[in-house]
Amino acid sequence: MLRYLLRRIPSAILVLFGASVLIFAVIRLVPGDPATTLAGVDATPQAIAAIRHHLGLDQPLLQQYLGWLHGLITGNLGTSYMIGGQISDLLANGAVNTIILTAAALVLAVAISLITACVWVWSRNRVIDSVLTGFNTVTLGLPTFVTGVLLVLIFGILLPILPPGGVPPKGFADRVDISAQYLVMPAVCLALPASAALTRFLAESLRTELRSPYVTTARAAGIGERRLLLAHALPAALPTYITALGIHVGGLLGGAVLVEAVFTWPGLGQLLSQSIDSRDYPVVQILLLISVGLFIVIQLITDAIHAVLDPRVRVGS
């Protein structure tokens, strides 16, 4: 297992380095100048030039990139142009809320997909099949921001039983019941598309396994359908399900940007949106690179779990 993971690390580092170069270059191609934004509309060219010099934006691009890369390696992430303060402090404040939201959505997506897929495959009822098919189609078709707005309108305004947005005033550790009220709508909104996609994927995998020769032999031996599904087909379908889950975890992180905007959730997604609007280069660069790094780490973890569940992956490596 260790040898398998060590073989993946060099390519992961290479991808991360390439992503840093691409992110740095693309951001510089975006129209707008943070020095002009920071100086204001009435600023003189001399004032704008002074701000550019203070921020280091008048240096050659290669020098700017090497300075940024050196800061990343040494742990000095720099300061924000527009929002103000150390970037590390901004990340620490927003990361907790984003991790809580993403973790809750991930738990919901896994639970919903496992239960729904097993019921869908095991049940032979046409009504249940039609209901689950329609629900999955609608969930996959609706954009996340539309689902979020509908949840706010129904449960936050028309039936005011849940807070329409924000986070608990005294933090998530104060009272579990209050925290759950603030968390349920954004977590459900973020989890629904992923759970629908995972349900379809797992259901098809289970159907494929139930048509396999070993299941036919076990069925002929008198083993019940429920046991065949849960004890034989489901474990065999888990490796590919874990791979798909790893892909959708990245989707959850990306979808958190829209969900945090809809529910005014003060996380990394909201910080990214503010930084893009204000041309805050250092913050945008760090957040995008963190996203790439998280994708890589999630992929490595997914591959490791896949290798544990399926020894053929380790042997093939």
Domain 87-316: assigned CATH number: 1.10.3720.10
pLDDT of residue 113: 92
Is the predicted pLDDT of residue 54 greater than 60, yes or no?
Answer: yes
Q: Are 307 and 1 in contact (CB under 8 A)?
A: yes
pTM of the model: 0.79
Dump pLDDT digits (tens) for 61-93.
Answer: 888 888 888 888 888 887 887 777 788 888 888
Q: In the predicted model, what is the mean pLDDT of residues 184-199? A: 91
pLDDT of residue 4: 65
For the chain, give the percent of residues with pLDDT over 70.
93
Is the predicted pLDDT of residue 251 greater than 90, yes or no?
Answer: no
Sole residue written with tokens 């280069």: 281
Is the predicted pLDDT of residue 109 greater than 70, yes or no?
Answer: yes
Amino acid at 227: R
Rounded to a whole number of angstroms, the distance between the first and last alpha carbons of the chain is: 10
Rounded to whole angstroms, the Cα distance separating 92 from 120 reads: 41
> Lowest-confidence range among 35-49, 216-230, 289-303?
35-49
pLDDT of residue 106: 92
pLDDT of residue 114: 92
* Domain range annotation of the chain: 87-316
pLDDT of residue 314: 55
Rounded to whole angstroms, the Cα distance separating 73 from 69 reads: 6
Answer with the residue of higher pLDDT: 238 or 41. Answer: 238
Amino acid at 153: L
C-beta pairs of 288-296 under 8 Å, 24+ apart in sequence: 288/19, 288/23, 289/16, 289/19, 289/20, 289/23, 289/72, 290/91, 291/253, 291/254, 292/15, 292/16, 292/19, 292/23, 293/16, 294/250, 294/253, 295/250, 295/253, 296/12, 296/15, 296/16
Answer with the residue of higher pLDDT: 29 or 284. Answer: 284
The C-alpha torsion from 203 through 193 and 140 to 188, rounded to 10°, is 110
Q: Are 270 and 186 in contact (CB under 8 A)?
A: no
Is the predicted pLDDT of residue 294 greater than 70, yes or no?
Answer: yes
Q: Which whole-number Å values give the CA distances from 187 to 57, 103, 149, in the listed order?
A: 40, 9, 13
Is the predicted pLDDT of residue 107 greater than 90, yes or no?
Answer: yes
Q: Are 247 and 185 in contact (CB under 8 A)?
A: no
Q: In the predicted model, what is the mean pLDDT of residues 244-272? A: 82
pLDDT of residue 312: 61
Rounded to a whole number, what is the largest CA-CA distance in the chain?
86
Dump pLDDT digits (tens) for 300-313.
Answer: 887 777 777 666 65
- 2-29 and 281-309 are packed helices; what angle lies between their axes, rounded to 10 degrees? 160
Backbone angles phi, psi at 163, to 5 degrees: -65, 135
Q: What is the rounded average pLDDT for all residues in the chain?
A: 83
Dump pLDDT digits (tens) for 149-186.
Answer: 899 999 988 888 888 888 888 777 778 888 888 999 99
Q: In the predicted model, what is the mean pLDDT of residues 198-203? A: 90
pLDDT of residue 108: 93
pLDDT of residue 187: 92
pLDDT of residue 186: 92
